[in-house]
A and B are shown apart, each in its own frame.
Chain A
Amino acid sequence: MAGIYAVFALGLNVHWGFTGLFNIGIAGFFALGAYTAALLTSPAADPLLFEEFAFAGDWAQLGFLDLGIDLWFVLALAAAGAVCGVIAVIIGYVTLRLNDDYLAIATLGIAESVRLFFLNEKWVANGSKGLYQIPQFLEGWLPSDKYNYLYMVVVIVVLAALFIMVQRVMQSPWGRVLRAIREDEVAAAASGKNVFRFKLQAFALGAVIMGVGGALFAHHIRFVSPLTFDPLLGTFIIWAMLMVGGSGNNLGAILGAFVVWGLWVGARFLPGELADPNYRFFMVGVLIVAVILLRPGGILGELRRVTRRRGERSAVRLDDG
């Protein structure tokens, strides 16, 4: 699960860490990716079970492009990413002209709209009852109680691939333009860069990564319903991960995901009163405050010189404030 969250943190890093797009609608892309993968691979709706959804690919059963291994899984991940990418271009085209604060509100609103769409439009994906016949990747390769270890390996492989991709993209000239936009849009525009187009591309790339994360999630939990995509566990905890780990650093994003999720699920093993679930919210809050005060750039800040200067500058600002 931490690995899946790390994928989201990576996607958010592309948005916020590199391009400075204030996206607090992660849950929207999370939901889109999860529903896409779920619908493409689930068996068709059974009216006897009061199921109702217009389309179900049933790729897992059809042996769709079956080349000996379950290739459908890779295709489902790709499709989830593609759908999110396309939707992100549409959303981005409308909203990316907004400045940071307004973009934040718009993305939050879009995430809620996506959730309410899946809740109310029952013909799409069974409404509030959700989809619960999502197949597993490589089912039957290991005894079912050991399956989670296999899936962990799958998640780590996907995470590693995405990490290498984002890492390379960010070192490319394209990535440098994104950072330039983050630092100063006007200067980037003055250098002849089409700021809006770069922003749109970055928004779509981050959304694709989030969509893949959503698909990984769907095949892990094997149940998606609108209940899953609430802002707390769908968006804010991912922000906490990126802030703690260090925005602008891909390794930091992954580390943050493991630290925050470890704290979130590990809190119950603390002694006595501290195990009370209500305290977890405080603990994550305290962790964020502590990291921001002690290491304003996160545990692993951005490694570039640009950031060191940035870090000093924001540290000074924090002292002032």
Chain B
Amino acid sequence: MEVSKADRRVMTRRDMIRVASVGLLGVAGGAVLAACGETETVTQEVVPVQVVVTREVIKEVPVEIVVTREVVKEVPVHGHGPATPTPTPRTVEVLVEKIVEAETLPPLIVGQLNAFTGSLSFFGPIHRNAATLAADHVNRAGGVGGGSLIIISRDTGVNPVQGVESARALVEIENAVAIVGALASGVTIPVATSVTVPNQRVQISGASTAPSITVLDDNDFLFRTAPSDAAQGVVLGRLAWEQGFRNVGVMYINNPYGEGLAELFDATFTSLGGTIVDAVPHEDEQPSFASELERATAGGVDALVAISYPGQAQIYVRESLEGGYADKFLFVDGTKSAEMNEAIGWDRLEGTLGTAPGSVDSPQRAAFASAYTDAYAVELPVEPYLAETYDAVAVIALAAAKAGTTTDSVAIRDALRAIANPPGEVVGPGVEGIGRALALIAEGGDVNYEGASGAVDFDENGDVFGPIEIWEITGGEIKSTGRFETP
């Protein structure tokens, strides 16, 4: 008896090792699979080579003569295609360094909090591309006061613990003067409260839309270039009322995004006089949503508002059509997905309306899209908030130029509204737009940066108010109705 007991004890210790190792290795395996999925998209044949001329001041003689040396070397155009391991941001090189003055500012170091592992890992590489593209444009336009812009991209794993640790390393070890990110609001907030605000570093998120960021006590160090869900919720509520819906059900994904949007929709719609049968949260992955639908549509509804991601909405919208729970829907940015409609059947959703922030077809956006294609040889991905991330980096660079410093984060923060908001000459993204802006700033002129994502005008909370687009499913396509609303 005793012997067998002892046996079991040893076995369990080994079991323990096995369970924990499997846990860790399982996650690792997933990560590797994700990485492999990424490499499969390699379609690159020959890496094009670009001849680069580097000028370098080697000696300065008093009588305004600058002796320069030209070094011609061949470097592969970096970041060609998302799969070439985009050179680690540290190696982003100044392609042509203009010697404007003998005296140049030190490099402007911007840390990016990104997700290479965890539930948003799919967004990591493309968001790094967007930030690197902005840095590249700034550098090709001459850099900030002659200093180059360097992006250091770090992983948060969509986890607050890891995000804070990465942010701390960026600020304390890499000396990043500004932070771009994080993606998820649940990471952005703790990074602000425990790293960027205490250390007085400006932080601009390009993707966090939670309404709570607006009111966060951040000493004006936290900004964002993505509009708060508050705006979309209000527009969505008005749209529902306008469509003649008086009695609706709401299904939303149980995270800050879904919850925030659902609350704002609820507040707007009920204040207009509408009734909400029930707003039902749901978890990530479920094979069926019948019981949630039952609750949301009890007693019959005019329409069902789907505030989720395509993976879940696809299932419950179909269930709802087939089970007769609701046959009219309202969609949001999370459910703006061609694939989802394909799976459900376009004709069954004909005429359905939805809302989404930002994506105005502006010349600035077109310029960004074509620059992205030129740099990475792929179409601009449909994933959201790439333009917002690009704009976040661009405004930091312009603000640094305006403040005349690449090391004083407070001065950069103070200059942000001056370069992003009216008045001033409207400038846009791209090498030319940023070059024009830098030239104007050097002359002491006013600029108003209008980005790829929208007007990028920061209010007193550091929020932007992009217009909300109303889109429509018509003839087997998602089309903009051309209507843009602000709350």
* Other-chain residue from B5, B157, B158 in contact with A185 (beta carbon distance below 8 A): B5
Judge if A256 is at the interface, Cβ distance under 8 Å.
Answer: no
Q: Known interface pairs A50-B212, A278-B31. Does A133 touch B5 (Cβ–Cβ under 8 Å)?
A: no
Closest chain B residue to A187 by CB distance?
B2
Give the shortest distance, in Å, between B33 (CB) and chain A (any CB): 10
Asked if A285 and B10 make an inter-chain contact with CB atoms under 8 angstroms apart, the answer reads no
Residue of A20, A120, A148, A277 with highest tally of chain B CB at under 10 A: A277
What is the distance, in angstroms, from B188's C-beta to the closest C-beta of chain A? 10
Binds B, one of A67-75, A76-84, A202-210, A231-239: A231-239
Q: Mark B149-166, 1 if CB is under 8 A from A, else 0.
A: 000001101111110111
| B19 close to chain A: CB less than 8 A | yes
Q: List CB contacts (< 8 Å) of A275-314 with chain B.
A: 275-278, 281-282, 284-285, 288-289, 292, 313-314
Which residue of chain A lies nearest to B255 when distances are taken between CB atoms in the complex?
A128
| Contact of B210 with A129 in the complex, beta carbons under 8 Å | yes
Which chain A residue has the least Cβ–Cβ distance from B190?
A223
Contact mask for chain A residues 177-217; partner B; CB cutoff 8 A; 1 contact, 0 none: 00000111111000000000000000000000000000000
Q: What separation, in Å, do the CA atoms of A130 and B21 have in the docked complex? A: 31
CB contact between A184 and one of B5, B28, B162 (< 8 Å): that residue: B5
Give the contacting residue for B254; candidates A127, A185, A220; CB below 8 A: A127
State whether the Cβ of A221 lies closer than 8 Å to any Cβ in chain B.
Answer: yes
* CB pair B160 A129 closer than 8 Å: no
| Docked complex Cα distance between A127 and B25 (Å) | 31
| B198 (CB) vs chain A CBs: closest residue | A144
- Chain B residues near A119 (CB-CB < 8 A): 254
Contact residues in A for B27 (Cβ distance below 8 Å):
232, 281
B300 on interface, CB distance cutoff 8 Å: no
Given contacts A128-B259, A243-B17, is CB(A282)–CB(B28) below 8 Å? yes
Report if A95 contacts B (CB, 8 A). Answer: no
In angstroms, how far is the closest chain A Cβ from the Cβ of B472? 30
A47 to chain B, nearest CB (A): 11
- Chain B 187-230 per-residue mask, 1 if CB under 8 angstroms from chain A, else 0: 10110011001111000000000111001110000000000000
Instruction: Find out whether the CB atom of B199 lies under 8 angstroms from the CB atom of A145.
Output: yes
**Looking across the interface, which residue of chain A has its beta carbon closest to that of B165?**
A265
Q: Is B263 among interface residues, defined by CB-CB distance under 8 A? A: yes
Number of interface residues of A (CB under 8 A): 67
Residue numbers in A under 8 Å from B21 (CB-CB): 285, 288-289
A128-156: contact bitstring with B at CB < 8 Å (1 yes, 0 no)? 11101100000000001101100000000
One of A50, A232, A236, A317 near B14 (C-beta < 8 A): A317
Contacts A50-B263, A130-B186, A277-B117 hold; do A223 and B20 have CB atoms under 8 A apart? no
A269 to B173, CA, bound (A): 10
- Tell me which residues across on chain A come within 8 A of B19, comparing CB atoms: 24, 104
CA distance A179 to B25 in the complex (A): 31
Contact flags B14-58 to A (C-beta < 8 A → 1, else 0): 111101110111011001101100000000000000000000000
Q: Is the CB of B85 within 8 A of A273?
A: yes
Select B197's contact among A144, A269, A282, A313, beta carbons within 8 Å.
Answer: A144
Is the CB–CB distance between B198 and A147 below 8 Å? yes
Would A288 and B20 count as touching, CB distance under 8 A?
Answer: yes
Report the separation of the CA atoms of residues A285 and B14 in the bound assembly, to the nearest whole angstrom.
15
Residues on B with C-beta less than 8 A from A49 are 212, 215
- Whether, in the assembled complex, B73 has its beta carbon less than 8 Å from a beta carbon of chain A, the answer is no
Q: Is B331 an interface residue (CB 8 A)?
A: no
> Which of A128, A186, A277, A278 is B2 in contact with, Cβ under 8 Å?
A186
Contact indicator B189/A50 (Cβ below 8 Å)? no
Determine if B84 is an interface residue (Cβ-Cβ < 8 Å).
Answer: no
Does B12 contact A132, Cβ atoms closer than 8 Å? no
Q: Given A184-B2, A288-B24, does the pair A128, B263 have CB atoms closer than 8 Å? A: no
The answer to whether B5 and A285 touch across the interface, beta carbons within 8 angstroms, is: no
The reply to whether A128 and B254 contact each other, CB–CB distance below 8 Å, is yes
B316 contacts chain A at the CB level, 8 A cutoff:
no
Contact B190 A314 (CB under 8 A): no
The answer to whether residues A50 and B260 also contact, given A120-B281, A222-B193, A278-B117 and a CB cut-off of 8 A, is yes
Asked whether any CB of chain B lies closer than 8 Å to the CB of A160, the reply is no
Judge whether A233 and B161 touch: CB under 8 Å: yes
Once A119-B254, A144-B197, A233-B162 are accepted as A-B contacts, the answer to whether A127 and B169 lie under 8 Å apart by CB is no
Which of B10, B21, B116, B200 has its CB near the most chain A CB atoms (within 10 A)?
B21
Chain B residues near A20: list those with CB within 8 A.
9, 12
> Are the CB atoms of A130 and B215 closer together than 8 Å?
no
Asked if A184 and B190 sit within 8 Å, CB to CB, the answer is: no
16 residue pairs from A and B, CB less than 8 Å apart? A50-B212, A50-B260, A50-B263, A104-B16, A148-B198, A186-B5, A221-B193, A223-B190, A227-B160, A230-B159, A232-B23, A232-B24, A243-B20, A268-B169, A278-B32, A278-B117
- Besides A50-B260, A101-B12, 11 more A-B contacts (Cβ < 8 Å) are A22-B16, A101-B15, A129-B212, A129-B260, A144-B199, A220-B194, A223-B160, A228-B159, A228-B161, A278-B28, A281-B25
Q: Which 4 A-B pairs have the closest CB atoms?
A: A281-B28, A223-B190, A144-B198, A277-B155
Q: Could you list which residues of chain A lie within 8 angstroms of chain B, going by C-beta atoms? A: 1, 16, 20, 22, 24, 48-50, 100-101, 104, 119-120, 122, 127-130, 132-133, 144-145, 147-148, 182-187, 220-223, 225, 227-228, 230-233, 236-237, 239-240, 243, 265, 268-269, 272-273, 275-278, 281-282, 284-285, 288-289, 292, 313-314, 317-318, 321
